[in-house]
Structure 1
Amino acid sequence: MNQGMTANIDCSVPAKLGKSVQNANCVVMVPPKEFGFNAETAADNEFQHQVSLDANAVKTQAMSEFRSMVAGLRRAGVQVVEFDYPIDVQETPDAVFPNNWFSTTLDGTFYTFPMACSNRQREVRPHALIESLKEAGRQVHATDSLVEYVDQGAFLESTGVMVKDHINKTIYAALSQRCEREALEDYAKRIGYHRVVSFQTALPSGHPIYHTNVMMAIGEHFAVICSEVIPEYERRFVVKSLANTKQVIDISLEQVNQFCGNILQLETVNGDKVIAMSQSAYNAFSPAQRQQLSTHGKLLPFDVSTIENIGGGSVRCMLGEVFLPTRVNSL
C-alpha cells in the first residue's frame, strides 16, 4: 500500500464468488474527515446548503453519520472497504462521495473518470485504492482512464452521472456539464454496453440535474425515476425503456429534494438483496412506494442529514460499487 494510505477492510464474512450482475456485494466508502461546504461544486449543485455550524462541528457530525452507515452496512452483510487517505495542503471536502471518480467491472477492470471541479480532481487516487481493494481480496486485472477528457474541458463523473442497467447493458444519463456526451459514449464502448439513453433535465430554476443518480436509481427488477424533470418529448421514451424490464416507481421533485432517487440496491455476501437509502428518503417515500421497494430487498435507511444538507449528495453518492472478482484464497 502507498505510504500514508490506510484502508479499514471488513473481512468478517467471505464474499461469494457468484455475485449478481446488477448488484455489488462490496462497496468503497471514504471517511469525511475534510468534509464541508464545497463552493466549487455549489455552482451547479442546487442540493447543497451552507449552514451556520462551526466547521469542526460539521466534520464531527458527518463522521458520526459515516461511522453509523459503515457499521449498518456491515451488519447487513455488505462488505465495506473503508478507504482512508492522507490530508494534503489542499482539501478535498467531497471525498466522502467516491462513486464519482472510479468504477469497476466484473472482468476486473478499474476505471477512473474526469471530474469537473479542481478540488474534486484531487480525490482521484487510483493506485492507492487499487492496493486497498487487493488487500480486501479483490482482483484488478486491468486499469483504464478517461481522465484525459479534462484537457478538453469534458467531464464524466462516473456513477454520479451514469445510472447503469447492467443486465441489459444500458446506461442512462442526464446530460449536464458533468456528463459530456462524447465521453459518455466512449466509456459505453469501452465496457461493451451497446445502448446509451441520454436525456435532458430541468429543475424549476431551469438548470439541469447535476447528477443523474439524484433523480434515478436502477435495481435488478425495479427503477426509481423522477420523470417530471425530463422534457415531455424525451420523458415517454426514457420511462418506456425502463418499463420494458423493470417495475418503475415514479417520484416527485419534492421527493428528489429528499434524495429518494439517491438509493442503491446491493447484495449481501450471502446473496440477499438490500436497498440502501437515507432516512430522509425513507421518510419521503409513500407507504405504497416503501412497500413496492421492500419487495426488491430489505430497506436500509441511514441518517446522513448533515452530509446531505451540506454536501448535496446522499447515501448512493457515498458508495463506490466494487464488481471486481474475488480471489479464491483471499479471506
Structure 2
Amino acid sequence: MQQTTNTILMVRPVNFRMNEQTAVNNYYQKAIDNVLPETVNAKAQQEFDAFVKKLQNIGVNVIVVQDTVEPNTPDSIFPNNWISFHQNGNVGLYPMFAENRRFERREDILDLLEEKGFEINQIVDYTDAETVSVFLEGTGSLLLDRVHRKAYCALSPRANEDLLIEFCEDFEYTPVVFTANQTVNGKRMPIYHTNVMMALGETFAVICLASIDDKKERKNVIKHLKEDGKEIIDITESQVNNFAGNMLQVKGANNKLYLVMSQAAYDSLTNNQIETLKKHNTDIVASSLDTIETCGGGSARCMMAEVFLPQA
C-alpha cells in the first residue's frame, strides 16, 4: 500500500463564494465585505490556477475538472469531502452536511477517470445517511494512514462515529477516534474537519495536540502515531487558524515527496517546524490561497482529492 500519490483531482470553481450553509459550524469562514461575488470568484480562480501550475511544475499529475454553473455549488473547489479513491479500485461517496454541497457529487467525474485509464471496481455509497442527518465528509473527516490501515477521525456534526465504524469495516481500517476543539468566542467548539488540525505523511504527522482536550484521547492518538514510526510535529491553535494543519504530502517527478500547503500556513510555521518538515520531504510547496481560505474556510488539502485507483 502507498500513503502518497502522484495523481490529484481538482475542481475549478465557477460560483465560488462564502457558503452560508457551511458557515454554521465552520468557524474559519468569513465574508469579504464590499466585494462583488464575481470578483471573489475571479480571485479564487486565479488562486486555483496558480496552485495547479505549482503542482504541475513539480511533476504532479493534476486532473482539472471544470465546475458547472448549475446546480449552484459554492464549495465545489473542495472535492475531497464527497469522494475518496482507493488502491483496490474502490471509490467512497460520502454524505454531506450542507444541502447545497450534495450537488457536488458528479458521475461524469468517475466517467472521466475511467476514460483516462483508471479502474473503478466498486462504489461504496454512504450518501443515504443524509436522509437521517448523519454525515461523514470524506477525507476531510477521515485522516487515512493507508499503509498502517488506520482512520483518524475527530468527531463533529460532520463526522459521525457509527458511520466512521461502518467505513472502517468496509475499507478495512482501524478507527482512531477523538474530539478536537477550538476556542470560538471563549467556548470550546468541535473543529469541523479532522484535516484542519492534522496531516499525515509517510514518516511524519502534523497535529494540533492542544485541540484534543481529553488527555486519554490525546495519549491514544500519540501512541498510534508513534507505533507507526511517525515523527510528530505539534502545531498551535493559532497555526491551525492559519490552516497549518491542512497540508498534503504528494509525489512529484521521480517519486520525490513534496509537502503542499497554503502560503498562510507556511508563513505561520516556525523555523524549527519548517526544518523538521524538510527532513521528510524534497521540498515544501506553498501557494497563496487567501480568498479561498477566507470565504471557503478550507485550504490546500481540501482542494486536492487524491487518486489512488489502479491504472489499466
Look up the equivalent residue of 2:139 and give its one-letter code. Answer: T
**1:37 maps to 2:18:** yes
Q: Per-residue displacement from partner, 1:47-73 (whole Å, max 9, x unpaired)?
A: 000112111110111000000011110
Unaligned 5+ residue runs, structure 1? 1-19
**1:177 maps to 2:135:** no
Measure, in 2, the Cα distance between the counterparts of 1:246 and 1:97.
Answer: 27
* 2:96–2:137 contact (8 Å) kept in structure 1: yes
1:120-131 correspondence runs (5 A) = 120-125=101-106, 127-131=107-111
Instruction: Tell me the equivalent position of 1:319.
Output: 304
**Secondary structure at 1:270 match in 2:** helix
**1:197 maps to 2:211:** no
1:155-234 correspondence runs (5 A) = 155-193=135-173, 195-205=174-184, 206-231=188-213, 232-234=215-217
Alpha-carbon shift at residue 85 of structure 1 (Å): 3.5
2:247 to 248, 263, 282: 263
**CA 1:269/1:324 → structure 2, altered by over 3 Å: closer, same or farther?**
farther
* 1:79–1:269 contact (8 Å) kept in structure 2: no
**Secondary structure at 2:129 match in 1:** helix
2:267 to 276, 283, 298: 283
Look up the equivalent residue of 1:74 and give its one-letter code. Answer: Q
Alpha-carbon shift at residue 238 of structure 1 (Å): 1.1
Look up the equivalent residue of 1:51 and give its one-letter code. Answer: I
Instruction: Tell me the equivalent position of 2:132.
Output: 152
Alpha-carbon shift at residue 269 of structure 1 (Å): 4.7
Q: Per-residue displacement from partner, 1:139-176 (whole Å, max 9, x unpaired)?
A: 21221211111112110000001101111100000001
Look up the equivalent residue of 2:310 and give its one-letter code. Answer: P
**1:91 maps to 2:72:** yes
Look up the equivalent residue of 2:301 and give its one-letter code. Answer: R
Instruction: Tell me the equivalent position of 1:116.
Output: 97
Q: Per-residue displacement from partner, 1:5-53 (whole Å, max 9, x unpaired)?
A: xxxxxxxxxxxxxxx6100110110012110011100000000001121
Instruction: Tell me the equivalent position of 2:116.
Output: 136
Look up the equivalent residue of 2:279 and give its one-letter code. Answer: T
| Cα-Cα RMSD | 1.1
**Secondary structure at 2:157 match in 1:** coil
**Secondary structure at 2:117 match in 1:** coil
Look up the equivalent residue of 1:260 and give its one-letter code. Answer: A
**Secondary structure at 1:37 match in 2:** coil
Measure, in 2, the Cα distance between the counterparts of 1:174 and 1:243.
Answer: 18
Measure, in 2, the Cα distance between the counterparts of 1:313 and 1:35.
Answer: 12
Alpha-carbon shift at residue 136 of structure 1 (Å): 2.8
* 1:25–1:268 contact (8 Å) kept in structure 2: yes
**Secondary structure at 1:197 match in 2:** strand
**1:64 maps to 2:46:** yes
**Secondary structure at 2:232 match in 1:** strand
**1:249 maps to 2:239:** no
**Secondary structure at 2:255 match in 1:** coil
Percent identity over paired residues: 37
**Secondary structure at 1:42 match in 2:** coil
Instruction: Tell me the equivalent position of 1:22.
Output: 3
Alpha-carbon shift at residue 137 of structure 1 (Å): 2.7
Measure, in 2, the Cα distance between the counterparts of 1:201 and 1:224.
Answer: 14
* 1:263–1:316 contact (8 Å) kept in structure 2: yes
Q: Per-residue displacement from partner, 1:253-283 (whole Å, max 9, x unpaired)?
A: 0000111000000112521101110001111
Instruction: Tell me the equivalent position of 1:11.
Output: none
* 1:155–1:178 contact (8 Å) kept in structure 2: yes
2:258 to 263, 266, 274: 274
Number of residue equivalences: 305
Unaligned 5+ residue runs, structure 2? none
**Secondary structure at 1:275 match in 2:** strand
In the superposition, the TM-score normalised over structure 1's length comes to 0.90
Instruction: Tell me the equivalent position of 1:309.
Output: 294
Alpha-carbon shift at residue 134 of structure 1 (Å): 1.9
* 1:92–1:120 contact (8 Å) kept in structure 2: yes
In the superposition, the TM-score normalised over structure 2's length comes to 0.95
Measure, in 2, the Cα distance between the counterparts of 1:160 and 1:103.
Answer: 10
Measure, in 2, the Cα distance between the counterparts of 1:83 and 1:238.
Answer: 36
Look up the equivalent residue of 1:236 and give its one-letter code. Answer: K
